[in-house]
Structure 1
Amino acid sequence: MQTEHSFTLVVAYVDDLLVTSSDSTVITILKTALNSAFTITDLGALKYFLGIEVSRSDFVQQLSQFLSEPRAPHWSAAVHVLRYLKGTINFGLFYPANSGLSLEAFSDADWGTCIDSTRSLTGYCVFMGNSLISWKTQK
């Protein structure tokens, strides 16, 4: 739902709802209306949805707080973000419909064989079906 002053999105999956809006008042009104029609449980801020961990960045919120009186550094930061988004518009994770929902994880450790630092390297990757959903490598 989009109004002149806000944008609200409700995602439904079986018996779970994900509600987000640019106006927190709209979320409160919607949750109150849903609770009067059904018994709902509010799980608070989104951390996981459909088994996928969700993290937020305050970067866009930090930029948006300066929209009323932007200065040159704010403008430069906004242009930088827009250029980045333009250059990565085709990036994303692809989850094919025929891929299963099995979760597989792999890990490895390379004990102290880094030639430059003689430190250990460890890493892991997690797949949902055939799709990589999480990975990390660190010394």
Structure 2
Amino acid sequence: MEIPHGLLGYTSSQSCKLKKSLYGLKQSDKKWYEKLSNLLLTYGYSHAHADHSLFIKAHNFEFIALIVYVDDIMLTSNSLAEIERIKRILHTNFHIKDLGKLKYFLGIEVAHSDKGISLCQRKYCLDLLKDSGMLGCKPSSTPMDSSLRLHNDSFGFLDDPLSYRRLVGRLVYLISTHPDIAFATQQLSQFMSKPTKAHHAAAVRVLQYLKGCPDKGLFFPWTCFPHLLGFSDADWATCIDSRRSITGYCFFIGNSLVSWKTKKQTTVSRSSSKAKYRALASATCELQ
């Protein structure tokens, strides 16, 4: 602990008496991340470009990834020796507690079997249905009506728009293991400022769909062909308000779905071919 700047009358031989623990200080998260980051960088790890809470290290044919959420750390590698090594380093510096194989992390349930690893958010999904009062609703076979075109409406505003925003925000996180609701959630997230009853009814339809498949998720088999497979598509000017198209793509490594996205294009396409070319360009960037 260093003496704060501007505090005079103290010598280097004196120390400050803490009135709060580290967890009670505003800078605690910054100091914790700074110390952990410096330690990992010292041992050859580097920040991932997409997320600085993800640390990666590759040496010869060994690869290890370590992701940090506050004081919870999850790591994976194709080398058990490297896993044991980094755990010893972390225990020496921070006295960690090893919880064994990953089973639950940030609402995502992990199940291991002889065939592979499955990820789902069953508990998170059931909690969402319970909090929304939809636990006893009738299930729906699809998350959204294919003929429905949501748009900004000038009447029928919700009395409590915060409930709609909370619901859509929780659906966004559910996309982590439910790519089947990505398009419907993308449509609902466009009307966060002024949601109407029509938008809320569409969100309820998504909840009805989730009632029928709360344990649906992703499966990653142990045996996998190391080839990359991607699909890209786009509609044309389906947004009633802006006449912009929507890009959609997904990528597989072998039979494992690893990346997916649904997003409205930034410019108006004057033909369906231009809309598909823009979607293909976005997918190519993701592929690289």
Compute the TM-score of the two structures, normalised by the length of structure 1. Answer: 0.48
Greater helix proportion: 2
Tell me which structure has the larger Cα radius of gyration.
2
